[in-house]
Chains A and B, each alone.
Chain A
Amino acid sequence: MTTTPGGAELPHQSASTSAAAGVAELGLLVGPEATAGAGVSARSPWRLSVERLRHDRTAMITGGIIVLIVALAVGAPLVSMLVGHPPDTQYRDIGLTPDGLPKPPNGTFWLGTDDLGRDLMVRIAYGARISLMVSVVSTAATVLLGTLVGIAAGYYGGVVDTILSWLIDLVLSFPFLLLVIALVSITGPSLTLLVGVIALFSWSWVARVVRGQTLSLRRREFVEAALSIGASDLRIMALDILPNVLAPIIVYTSLLIPSFVVLESTLSFLGLGVPPPTPTWGGMLSDSVAYYRQAWWYVVFPGVALLTTTLAFNLFGDSIRDAFDPGADRIRRR
């Protein structure tokens, strides 16, 4: 019994391969597993996926970029210490031209300044923090909620499914932006509100996918088998259903993160996201629009940061999908 790296099994031995294995299959040898080969190590489906990922060059490159971005976000205080400029300090004397315009990249401010004389590089680094934190936390909340609802709906079916599906449809059809504007006008923009609202509207996408997977898994014989040995519903959902929906969940997670980065930036751009003076890429882009002719660096650098992050995550997410869910169709993103 040999296993190819791709995980496919080869039950039919060709004539040239071990005759002993063929004989074993006929049951003439005691212990048909004797020829299984002590050298073959057990490779779990997870190990195989990770190996596929490691051999994907795009994945490794974009993965490296993501690591750098995370390092930048985590090390933002270090960047600030390095150049000696805190992110919110306005250097109106040395950071602005005599006309009050942002200064271009120079020895003091490596990427230039913004319209209030703040160090752009430091703000971009801190902006990475916000973007990543918001997107990761939102993703975690979204995936958690979506998975719970999706599995429950798909597994129980019947009334539970009807109610939960109705809820999913309701959330899906709600006008997101209108609600955000309304909420922000009541409570004012805040970080928590942002994360909450993003998660509140995105879980339904995950729930729909997970529900579909669960519905098809529910009918598989190993679920029947678990029922026949007396497993409880909770046990089946956790040990039998969940590991098999994990692959699309992982893929979805890796694609949600960049979506949320863009979403957060969009909301901040519109003034509905993280309030100033906290640096965020979307906010910087919003403020930079007025100076696009005089201060190209103010537009370009945050924009490049946003673009690179989103692209890296998206490409990495595609690679993850290829590694963990090779036969899957493209997951439709918003």
Chain B
Amino acid sequence: MTADLQSAPVLLEARNVVKEFPIRGGSREQRVQAVTDVSFEIRRGETVGLVGETGCGKSTLARCVTRLHELTSGTIIFDGQDISTLGRGRLRPVRRDLQMIFQDPYSSLNPRRTVGSIIGEPFAIHRVADGRERKRRVQELMEVVGLNPEHYNRFPAAFSGGQRQRIGVARALALRPKLIVCDEPVSALDVSIQAQIINLLKDLQNDFDLTYLFIAHNMAVVEQVSHRVMVMYLGQIAEMAPRDQLYARPRHPYTAALLSAVPIPDPDVSDRRHQIVLTGDIPSPVAPPPGCRFHTRCPRAEPRCRTPRRCSRCSGTRPGTVRPAMSPWPTGSSSGS
């Protein structure tokens, strides 16, 4: 991680974020523990990647950060302001700086609205520009993301998946936000198009001084874009490290298992590699295992993995807070920014 990123101001801070969904009906009131006690920081100008399997809570966490969900408990501090419990009205000005790109290019655009109307909506909502000025700025955005500005009046059905995702990027970019949460922005696209969109996002980061929280389940994609990476499992952060460190020397067994599952094109190399195959099913998020939630499937599990730990001297968390239960032993070296 470059020096200036390490000293950049903290743009987003999540502290002990918990999100649970109650299940109604049935004999007992149960809760799906989607996100449990997640804490992290994002500094201005960096890209933090968030990886994990489907169902680990990444998208839920993304929606908690952007306040599309109400937090069950915990704090989100964005640009110095606590946005954890703000109402819709107070949140609106915050949303100018905190935007989101969605996963599915086919359902994240209203099929009955023109592209110009979709991209121009942020301008309309926040009363930034009207009429001709708005059109000009929308067309400017379209050019920036690589769309033909003459297609201003077309409908989403006329565009391919990659183009639609560009529309989504343009919409998120409209008000020059500070932080963009990218919720699996390339998962629904062909591999060749994925490369285009990733390059677009990287260029935009340089041109517009953007900060990203980049969520994906593809380790290779995350490696491309991230400065730091967080690995998530069943609602908890398993590991958090600078990108190169995480990919070269993963400390948590789950990270190691994920990395060993990434396909390698060269069959000789692939055959020679030691693959970690996880057995068993993912536990239910309604009744997750205590302590490190991975211990039920972990090849290196020890008895102490079952207990949650409290640490006062690791960097990245404040003294007295519960340290993410999943950080691997020993706790000596730093695992965060």
Contact yes or no, B154 A42, CB < 8 A: yes
Which residues of A lie under 8 Å from residue B171 when comparing CB positions?
225, 229
Q: How many Å lie between the Cα of A258 and that of B320 in the bound state?
A: 72
Given contact pairs A45-B112, A221-B104, A243-B113, A229 touches B158 in the complex (Cβ within 8 A): no
Q: How many Å lie between the Cα of A225 and that of B117 in the bound state?
A: 13
**B163: contacting residue among A32, A46, A231, CB under 8 A:** A32
Name the residue on B nearest A47 (C-beta). Answer: B155
Name the residue on A nearest B89 (C-beta). Answer: A232
**Of residues 208 to 263 in B, which have CB atoms within 8 Å of A's CB atoms?**
none
Q: Which of A23-31, A81-89, A194-202, A266-274 contacts B (4 or more CB under 8 A)?
A: A23-31
Which residues of A lie under 8 Å from residue B99 when comparing CB positions?
228-229
Contact yes or no, A32 B108, CB < 8 A: no
Judged by a CB distance under 8 angstroms, whether B192 is at the interface is yes
Judged by a CB distance under 8 angstroms, whether A235 is at the interface is yes
Name the residue on A nearest B103 (C-beta). Answer: A221
Q: Which of A1-9, A55-63, A94-102, A103-111 contacts B (4 or more CB under 8 A)?
A: A1-9
Interface residue tally on A, bucketed by range: 35 or more
Contact yes or no, B92 A34, CB < 8 A: no
Q: How many Å lie between the Cα of A9 and that of B88 in the bound state?
A: 38
Judged by a CB distance under 8 angstroms, whether A244 is at the interface is yes
Contact yes or no, A225 B102, CB < 8 A: yes
Contact yes or no, A228 B159, CB < 8 A: no
Which residues of A lie under 8 Å from residue B122 when comparing CB positions?
229-230
Contact yes or no, B158 A244, CB < 8 A: no
**A45: contacting residue among B103, B104, B111, CB under 8 A:** B111
Q: How many Å lie between the Cα of A147 and that of B99 in the bound state?
A: 32
Q: Which of B132-140, B145-153, B266-274, B290-298 contacts A (4 or more CB under 8 A)?
A: B145-153
Name the residue on B nearest A222 (C-beta). Answer: B110
Q: How many Å lie between the Cα of A192 and that of B111 in the bound state?
A: 40
Q: How many Å lie between the Cα of A45 and that of B193 in the bound state?
A: 26
Contact yes or no, B146 A32, CB < 8 A: yes
Name the residue on A nearest B112 (C-beta). Answer: A243
Q: How many Å lie between the Cα of A221 and that of B109 in the bound state?
A: 7
Q: How many Å lie between the Cα of A180 and that of B289 in the bound state?
A: 63
Given contact pairs A1-B159, A9-B158, A42-B155, A227 touches B68 in the complex (Cβ within 8 A): yes
Q: How many Å lie between the Cα of A27 and that of B189 in the bound state?
A: 14
Which residues of A lie under 8 Å from residue B95 when comparing CB positions?
228-230
Which residues of A lie under 8 Å from residue B114 when comparing CB positions?
42, 44
Judged by a CB distance under 8 angstroms, whether A220 is at the interface is yes
Contact yes or no, B121 A226, CB < 8 A: yes
Judged by a CB distance under 8 angstroms, whether A51 is at the interface is no
Judged by a CB distance under 8 angstroms, whether A33 is at the interface is yes
Expressed in whole angstroms, the minimum distance between the Cβ of B200 and any Cβ of chain A is: 10
Which residues of A lie under 8 Å from residue B102 when comparing CB positions?
221, 224-225
Contact yes or no, A230 B108, CB < 8 A: no
**Of residues 87 to 141 in A, which have CB atoms within 8 Å of B's CB atoms?**
none
Q: Mark A216-250, 1 if CB is under 8 A from B, else 0.
A: 00001110111111111001000110011010000
Q: How many contacting A-B pairs (Cβ < 8 A)? A: 112
Q: How many Å lie between the Cα of A243 and that of B117 in the bound state?
A: 13
Expressed in whole angstroms, the minimum distance between the Cβ of B137 and any Cβ of chain A is: 15
Judged by a CB distance under 8 angstroms, whether A11 is at the interface is yes
Contact yes or no, A240 B110, CB < 8 A: yes
Q: How many Å lie between the Cα of A244 and that of B156 in the bound state?
A: 14
Judged by a CB distance under 8 angstroms, whether A304 is at the interface is no
Contact yes or no, A235 B112, CB < 8 A: no
Name the residue on A nearest B158 (C-beta). Answer: A3
Which residues of A lie under 8 Å from residue B110 when comparing CB positions?
222, 226, 239-240, 243-244
Contact yes or no, B125 A230, CB < 8 A: yes
Contact yes or no, A33 B147, CB < 8 A: yes
Name the residue on A nearest B174 (C-beta). Answer: A229
Contact yes or no, A231 B107, CB < 8 A: no
Contact yes or no, B146 A228, CB < 8 A: no
Which residues of B lie under 8 Å from residue A244 when comparing CB positions?
110-112
Expressed in whole angstroms, the minimum distance between the Cβ of A212 and any Cβ of chain B is: 18
Given contact pairs A1-B160, A239-B113, A225 touches B155 in the complex (Cβ within 8 A): no
Which residues of A lie under 8 Å from residue B148 when comparing CB positions?
31, 33-34, 36
Judged by a CB distance under 8 angstroms, whether B100 is at the interface is yes
Q: How many Å lie between the Cα of A44 and that of B110 in the bound state?
A: 12
Which residues of B lie under 8 Å from residue A31 when comparing CB positions?
146, 148
Q: How many Å lie between the Cα of A224 and that of B192 in the bound state?
A: 27
Contact yes or no, A45 B125, CB < 8 A: no
Name the residue on A nearest B200 (C-beta). Answer: A27
Which residues of B lie under 8 Å from residue A33 when comparing CB positions?
146-148, 151, 163
Expressed in whole angstroms, the minimum distance between the Cβ of A225 and any Cβ of chain B is: 5
Which residues of A lie under 8 Å from residue B125 when comparing CB positions?
229-232, 235
**B108: contacting residue among A1, A34, A40, A225, CB under 8 A:** A225
Judged by a CB distance under 8 angstroms, whether B1 is at the interface is no
Judged by a CB distance under 8 angstroms, whether B328 is at the interface is no
Judged by a CB distance under 8 angstroms, whether B285 is at the interface is no
Give the interface of B toward A (CB within 8 A).
Answer: 66, 68, 88, 91-92, 95-96, 99-100, 102-104, 107-114, 121-122, 125-126, 146-148, 151, 153-155, 157-163, 168, 171, 174, 192-193, 195-196
| Between-chain CB contacts (< 8 Å), 23 pairs | A1-B159, A9-B157, A9-B159, A26-B192, A27-B192, A27-B196, A32-B162, A42-B151, A42-B155, A44-B155, A45-B111, A45-B112, A222-B108, A225-B171, A227-B68, A228-B99, A228-B100, A229-B121, A229-B122, A229-B125, A230-B95, A231-B121, A246-B112
